[in-house]
């Protein structure tokens, strides 16, 4: 496990887990910044019922990075906790 993924506490969804969103949630698109690190793109809504895969930690302790349909997003950790 990389140090990036180790920041997600056990009580939350673990990396590699796919969850189905139980409600619409806000998300910030993760885009490349030209230096190999993800930057932040536009804010949008991910719809209820959408399956997302947890990929790792986000830009703060309260966020995680998720992937769906080939795109990556930062979302609030609490919005994917217990959504299975």
Is 84 among the domain residues? no
Model confidence at 10, pLDDT cuts 50, 70, 90, reads very low
Is 69 among the domain residues? yes
Is 54 among the domain residues? yes
Examine the pLDDT at 12 and tell me if it is beyond 70: no
Question: What's the rounded mean pLDDT across residues 3-32?
Answer: 74
Please tell me the pTM assigned to this model: 0.76
Is 57 among the domain residues? yes
Domain count, the chain: 1
Is 12 among the domain residues? yes
CATH number at residue 29: 2.30.30
Q: CA separation (Å) from 83 to 3, 12, 60, 63?
A: 25, 10, 20, 15
**Structural domain for 69, as ranges:** 3-79
Is 61 among the domain residues? yes
Model confidence at 13, pLDDT cuts 50, 70, 90, reads low
Average pLDDT of the residues of the chain: 80
State how far the Cα of 53 lies from the Cα of 65, in Å rounded to an integer. 9
DSSP string of 21-59, one letter each residue: -SS-EEEEEEEE-SSSSEEEEEEEEEPTT-EEEEEEE-S
């Amino acid at each position: 496990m990389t140090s990036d993924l180790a920041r997600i506490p056990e009580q939350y969804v673990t990396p590699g887990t796919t969850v189905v969103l139980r409600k619409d949630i806000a998300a910030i698109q993760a885009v490349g910044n030209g230096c190999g690190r993800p930057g932040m793109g536009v804010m949008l809504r991910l719809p209820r019922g959408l399956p997302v895969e947890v990929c790792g930690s986000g830009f703060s302790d309260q966020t995680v990075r998720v992937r769906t349909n080939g795109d990556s997003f930062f979302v609030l950790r609490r919005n994917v906790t217990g959504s299975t």
